[in-house]
Amino acid sequence: MLQLLKNLLGFGTKVNYKELISRGAQIIDVRTKGEYQGGCIKGSVNIPLQNLSGNLSKIKKDKPVITCCASGMRSASAKSILKANGFTEVYNGGGWMSLKNKIS
């Protein structure tokens, strides 16, 4: 159970985010538009969590997807939504600032 919780929140197996980016990974930031405008990862796409289900066509299914938000909770929900809609390679990147440091 603990490992499942860790995996859901993005604390499971270590992920090489730089390698995912080199493979064309898409970074989907699920914070609100206002949060996103206050700072974001260059090249990321802002699709607020509440709008994600209606905007799945904007995300390529054949490329890895990394979700991020402010702390990792909304990005965990976004990962679940994407997996439930047929996306196979989805990673919870957690908080956007932490993710930015991992890929810089």
- DSSP letters, 25-36, are PEEEE-S-HHHH
Distances (CA, A) of 3 to 8, 9, 92: 9, 10, 15
Given this structure, which CATH class describes domain 35-104? alpha beta
What does the alpha-carbon distance between residue 67 and residue 1 come to, in Å, rounded to a whole number?
23
For residue 78, which of 90, 88, 95, 63 has the smallest C-alpha distance?
90
Band of pLDDT at residue 14, cut at 50, 70 and 90: confident
Q: What is the pLDDT of residue 5?
A: 57
What does the domain layout of the chain look like in residue ranges? Answer: 35-104
- Of 5-19, 42-56, 61-75, the poorest mean pLDDT is in 5-19
Please, what is the average pLDDT of the chain?
92
Which pLDDT value is given to residue 63? 96
pLDDT (0 to 100) of residue 67: 98
pLDDT of residue 81: 98
Q: What is the pTM of this model?
A: 0.87
